[in-house]
Amino acid sequence: MDQPLRLKNCHEALLNQFLHFDPMHLVVRSRGLSFVRETNFGVFTSKRGRSSRMIRDGESGLVLCPERIESVYLFSPGANRPPAFEFDFADYGFGISIQPRETPRNLEILARIASLFGDAVVPASDLIARGAGSWLDEWGHLEQSASEGSTDARVSGTAAEGKIAAQIVTPGFEAEIAMRPAFEDRDGQIRRIAAAGGCDAIVIDADVLVIGDGRVDQWDGRQLLKRRAEQLRSEVATW
């Protein structure tokens, strides 16, 4: 596929094609906390608990609000890599990416989905400028002012404890990861934590997540929470 393809607005029918794939990479992006994990997908069914209608996949645990999905694109994240499904959410951006591995089975399913659900070819440059295909720590395109206060991002556990979990909840989606970390790297305020023997990883920005009134620099296993927009504005005003 040379150019990104916008898929038809029949998202639930599309989502229920995912159960046919081999395990895929689920990438979840939020400002200050993002993660990737390998997972199977099953059938999405209705989930109660919010005013908006939500659907949940029992295999991956991914929860989506169909009303908040603006578009889904088949978009190649790099040369010689199969296309990924990039989900564009209203007032948020590309918060979810589902990335098939390059296997004969997956490539056959991708071709079938492109044929059945393809709607329009779009310029790759437009999607890249808006954050499609971005890395875990490239969240500058996410959460404009209208939605900054509506995202709940939290982390519990530490690499030293041998277990770590993260959860991201937005009006458009909910997702979580739990893993046994084997590697941790720091680059300034950015922490990258990876599991052994797989793709699972978490990226944390200490400028966005806090422990109560503290900083991630003093993280000792207590739960990390997303800093609210008013906290960030207050700090900027004092610098």
Same structural domain for residues 213 and 97? no
Q: Give the integer Cα–Cα distance in Å for 149 and 126.
A: 26
Each of the 239 residues of the chain gets a pLDDT tens digit; together they read 578 999 998 899 999 999 999 999 999 999 889 999 999 999 999 987 667 889 999 999 999 999 999 999 999 866 667 789 999 999 999 999 999 998 999 999 999 999 999 999 999 889 988 889 888 888 777 755 444 557 888 888 876 778 889 999 999 999 999 999 988 888 888 889 999 877 899 999 877 765 444 444 444 444 445 544 333 232 322 22
Other C-beta atoms within 10 Å of 177: how many? 21
Residue 142 lies inside a defined structural domain of this protein: no
Count of structural domains, the chain: 2
Same structural domain for residues 16 and 44? yes
> Which uninterrupted H or E stretch holds 186?
strand 181-187
Q: Give the integer Cα–Cα distance in Å for 166 and 182.
A: 16
Q: Give the integer Cα–Cα distance in Å for 46 and 57.
A: 9
Same structural domain for residues 225 and 116? no
pLDDT at site 206: 76
* Two structure tokens written together for 216: 């991630």
Residue 183 lies inside a defined structural domain of this protein: yes
pLDDT at site 108: 94
Same structural domain for residues 41 and 112? yes
Residue finishing a domain among 84, 99, 129: 129
pLDDT at site 49: 65
Residue finishing a domain among 78, 94, 129: 129
pLDDT at site 171: 92
What residues are paired with 25 via a beta bridge? 38, 99
Question: Would you say 177 and 153 are in contact if contact means Cβ atoms under 8 Å apart?
Answer: no
pLDDT at site 133: 87
Entry pTM: 0.84
Residue finishing a domain among 129, 161, 177: 129
pLDDT at site 67: 92
Q: Give the integer Cα–Cα distance in Å for 194 and 35.
A: 10
What residues are paired with 167 via a beta bridge? 154, 176
Same structural domain for residues 123 and 167? no
Q: Give the integer Cα–Cα distance in Å for 100 and 75.
A: 11
Q: Give the integer Cα–Cα distance in Å for 100 and 38.
A: 10
Which domain does 45 fall in, by range? 5-129
